[in-house]
C-alpha cells in the first residue's frame, strides 16, 4: 500500500516537472519572437529615408510586381548606379521602359569614355544638339569603318568632328581605344610613321623591368607575324623610349650611357661596349627569340638558362650576367613578350 502511494506521488511530481519545462520553453520562444519583431521593425525604420526602400522591395502582392522592381520608384542615385552596369545594347532596351533614366547623358558619357578613352571632342564645347548617346553611335560606326578600312575610319572621325587632323590626337585615340582591329591597326601604323612616333612617346616605362615593358609596348602596338623592316623599326623606337624613361636604371646595370661608346680589353681580345639603345635593342631581340623558343610546341630542345646567358653576352658583353639571368626567369615564368 505504501509503495503504491509513493509511485502515484512520484508520477505526479514528474508530470509537474515536464509541464514546467514546457512552459519555460514556450515563454522563451515567445520572448525571442518578440525580440525578432522589434529588431525587424527597427531595421525597417533605419532603412526608411524619404522613400521606404524596404517596403518597396518586400511589398509585391500581385504577379505583375514579382519581376524586377520599377527603377523610377527608387532614389535617382540608386537607379543610375544599377543602369551604369549595362552595356549600350541593354541600355537602349532599358530606355524603352525607363526613358528618362536610361537616356541620361551621364550614363552615355560613361559608356563613351570607358570604350574610347580619348577623343578630341571631349575637350571642346559641345555643339548645339549634341548628345553622348548620338556620339556613342558615331564612335561605334567609326570603329567598324576603321576595322574595314583604317583610312576611311579616321576620315569618318574627322568629318564628324570627333578627332582633329593631328598625328598626336590620332595617336592618343589609338592608345586609349581597345575596339580597333589589331591587324588593320598594324597596317595603318606601318603607313603612318608620324602617328607611330607619337604613339611610342605616350608610353611611360619608368622603373619597369625590360620584359614587362616590352609586353606593355606590344599590347598597344602589335608585333608583326614575321621578321622585317617594320619589326626592326618597332624595336628601335622602343629601345630609345625605354632608355629615355630609365637613364638611371640603365647606368646601375653597368651599361654605357647613350651616345658614349666605350672600349676595353678582355682575355679574348678587344671588346667594343655597345651604346645604351643598341644594348637594349640586342636584349629585345634576344627576348623575342627566347619567347619563341620556350613557348613554341615545335621546338623540342628548349634553350637553357646557361645557353641564353652565353648567347646574349656574346652579342653584348657589357651586360651583367645576373641581369640576363633575370630576363630568362621572367620569360620562363610569365611567357611570351609579344603574345
How does the average pLDDT of the chain come out, rounded? 79
**254 pLDDT more than 60:** no
**146 pLDDT more than 60:** yes
Q: Which range, of 138-152, 234-248, 273-287, averages the lowest pLDDT? A: 273-287
Element (H, E) at 67: none
Element (H, E) at 219: helix 210-220
37-76 per-residue burial string, b: 16 or more CB within 10 A, e: under 16: eeeeeeeeeeeeeeeebeeeeeeeeeeeeeeeeebeebee
Closest residue by Cα to residue 107 from 98, 56, 69: 98
HSE, CB side, 13 Å, CA atoms: give it for residue 136: 20
Confidence of residue 227 (pLDDT cuts 50, 70, 90): confident
pLDDT of residue 259: 40
Confidence of residue 267 (pLDDT cuts 50, 70, 90): very low
| Contact between 84 and 107 (Cβ < 8 Å) | yes
Measured CA distances, 5 to 2, 12, 17, 19, 274 (Å): 5, 11, 19, 21, 115
What distance in Å separates the CA atoms of residue 277 and residue 78, rounded to the nearest whole number?
53
**Quick one: residue 140, left, alpha or beta (phi over 0 = left, psi -120 to 50 = alpha)?**
alpha
Q: Which residues pair with 177 in a beta bridge?
A: 116
What 3-state DSSP class applies to 15? helix
Closest residue by Cα to residue 99 from 62, 130, 107: 107
**238 pLDDT more than 50:** yes
**273 pLDDT more than 80:** no
pLDDT of residue 186: 93
List CB contacts of 8: < 8 A, sequence separation 6 or more: none
What distance in Å separates the CA atoms of residue 107 and residue 50, rounded to the nearest whole number?
24
**220 pLDDT more than 80:** yes
Confidence of residue 94 (pLDDT cuts 50, 70, 90): confident
Q: Which range, of 120-124, 174-178, 225-229, 290-294, averages the lowest pLDDT? A: 225-229
What distance in Å separates the CA atoms of residue 276 and residue 273, rounded to the nearest whole number?
9
**255 pLDDT more than 60:** no
Which residue, chain included where needed, has cell 619567347?
A: 291
Confidence of residue 250 (pLDDT cuts 50, 70, 90): low
Higher model confidence: residue 37 or residue 249? 249
Task: Give the burial class of 202: count Cβ atoms within 10 A of its Cβ; 0-12 exposed, 13-18 middle, 19 or more buried.
Answer: middle
Measured CA distances, 318 to 126, 240, 252, 282 (Å): 56, 18, 12, 12
Max Cα distance, the chain (Å): 126
HSE, CB side, 13 Å, CA atoms: give it for residue 25: 6
pLDDT of residue 290: 94
Mean pLDDT of 98-117: 90
Amino acid at each position: 500500500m505504501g509503495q503504491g502511494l509513493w509511485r502515484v506521488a512520484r508520477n505526479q511530481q514528474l508530470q509537474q516537472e515536464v509541464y514546467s519545462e514546457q512552459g519555460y520553453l514556450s515563454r522563451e520562444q515567445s520572448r525571442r519572437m518578440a525580440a525578432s519583431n522589434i529588431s525587424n521593425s527597427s531595421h525597417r525604420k533605419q532603412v526608411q529615408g524619404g522613400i521606404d526602400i524596404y517596403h518597396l522591395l518586400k511589398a509585391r502582392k500581385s504577379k505583375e510586381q514579382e519581376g524586377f522592381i520599377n527603377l523610377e520608384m527608387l532614389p535617382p542615385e540608386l537607379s543610375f548606379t544599377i543602369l551604369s552596369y549595362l552595356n549600350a545594347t541593354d541600355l537602349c532596351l532599358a530606355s524603352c521602359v525607363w526613358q528618362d533614366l536610361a537616356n541620361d547623358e551621364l550614363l552615355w558619357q560613361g559608356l563613351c569614355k570607358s570604350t574610347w578613352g580619348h577623343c578630341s571632342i571631349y575637350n571642346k564645347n559641345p555643339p548645339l544638339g549634341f548628345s553622348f548617346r548620338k556620339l556613342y553611335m558615331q564612335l561605334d560606326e567609326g570603329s567598324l569603318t576603321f576595322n574595314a578600312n583604317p583610312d576611311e575610319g579616321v576620315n569618318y572621325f574627322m568629318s564628324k568632328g570627333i578627332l582633329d587632323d593631328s598625328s598626336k590626337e590620332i595617336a592618343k585615340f589609338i592608345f586609349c581605344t581597345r575596339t580597333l582591329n589589331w591587324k588593320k591597326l598594324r597596317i595603318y601604323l606601318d603607313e603612318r610613321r608620324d602617328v607611330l612616333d607619337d604613339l611610342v612617346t605616350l608610353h611611360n616605362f619608368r622603373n619597369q623591368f625590360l620584359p614587362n615593358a616590352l609586353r606593355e609596348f606590344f599590347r598597344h602596338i602589335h608585333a608583326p607575324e614575321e621578321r622585317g623592316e617594320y619589326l626592326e623599326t618597332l624595336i628601335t623606337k622602343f629601345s630609345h623610349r625605354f632608355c629615355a624613361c630609365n637613364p638611371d636604371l640603365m647606368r646601375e646595370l653597368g651599361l654605357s650611357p647613350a651616345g658614349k661608346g666605350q672600349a676595353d680589353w678582355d682575355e679574348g681580345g678587344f671588346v667594343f661596349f655597345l651604346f645604351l639603345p643598341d644594348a637594349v635593342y640586342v636584349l629585345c631581340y634576344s627576348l623575342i627569340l627566347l619567347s619563341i623558343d620556350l613557348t613554341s610546341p615545335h621546338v623540342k630542345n628548349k634553350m637553357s638558362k646557361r645557353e641564353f646567358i652565353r648567347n646574349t653576352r656574346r652579342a653584348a658583353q657589357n651586360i651583367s650576367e645576373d641581369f640576363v639571368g633575370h630576363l630568362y626567369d621572367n620569360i620562363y615564368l610569365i611567357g611570351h613578350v609579344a603574345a
